[in-house]
Amino acid sequence: MQSSHEPRFNNRKKIGIVFSAIVLAWLVFDLITKAYFNSFELGSVIAGPFAGIFRFRLVHNTGMAWGLFGDSTIALGIMSLVVCAALTIYLFANIRYINWFQVIGIGLVVSGGLGNAIDRFFQGYVIDFIETTFINFPVFNIADIGVTCGFVIFLVGLFVSFGKDSQNLEAPADENREDHLSQER
């Protein structure tokens, strides 16, 4: 049984490789899909709807979801880079205690943040193309999926980590109790 102070991964290099692979793979997927969909006419429906759930429609977004902070492209791009840097620092500063859920989650969030920041700095807007048809929801892209799913996966990792830490804190107390009882006999 590991104590809460023992590293969950002993191999920093392995974590770095997995993290980098996730960031690179998701970022390439995001950039390729954005390049493809951006070749169509702005506002046009490219395909769909599929099963009445979503369709592909090209939108250029200078703000955030739901039109928040419209025309704040550069500021949002800088904020994305700051968040990506902070999460990467968090990952490697806590590498001894991090779990795979957290590595994967942070990798996806960082990749999505970088993908949208690249759009903001080089295009002046974010290329969105996935539109839900069953509910009124902002049009989004692969980077947004990475950020959202990555955040959820990261939270799952935190809960798993907290659960293991609380078990590790309780275990020594139980062992000490048994030792104490055997000494009394």
Whether residue 146 lies inside any domain: the answer is: yes
* 95's tokens: 């590498």
pLDDT digits (tens, 9 = 90+) for 8-61: 445 788 999 999 999 999 999 999 999 999 999 999 999 989 999 999 999 999
For the chain, what is the domain count? 1
Whether residue 71 lies inside any domain: the answer is: yes
Range of the domain at 107: 12-154
Whether residue 163 lies inside any domain: the answer is: no
Catalytic-role residue among 128, 165, 174, 179: 128
Q: Are 131 and 54 in contact (CB under 8 A)?
A: yes
Q: Are 140 and 65 in contact (CB under 8 A)?
A: yes
Residues with Cβ < 8 Å from 83, sequence gap 6 or more? Answer: 109, 113
In the annotation, is 144 catalytic?
yes
Q: What is the pLDDT of residue 96?
A: 86
Band (71; pLDDT cuts 50, 70, 90): confident
Whether residue 63 lies inside any domain: the answer is: yes
Catalytic-role residue among 30, 71, 144, 179: 144
Whether residue 174 lies inside any domain: the answer is: no
Whether residue 148 lies inside any domain: the answer is: yes
In the annotation, is 179 catalytic?
no
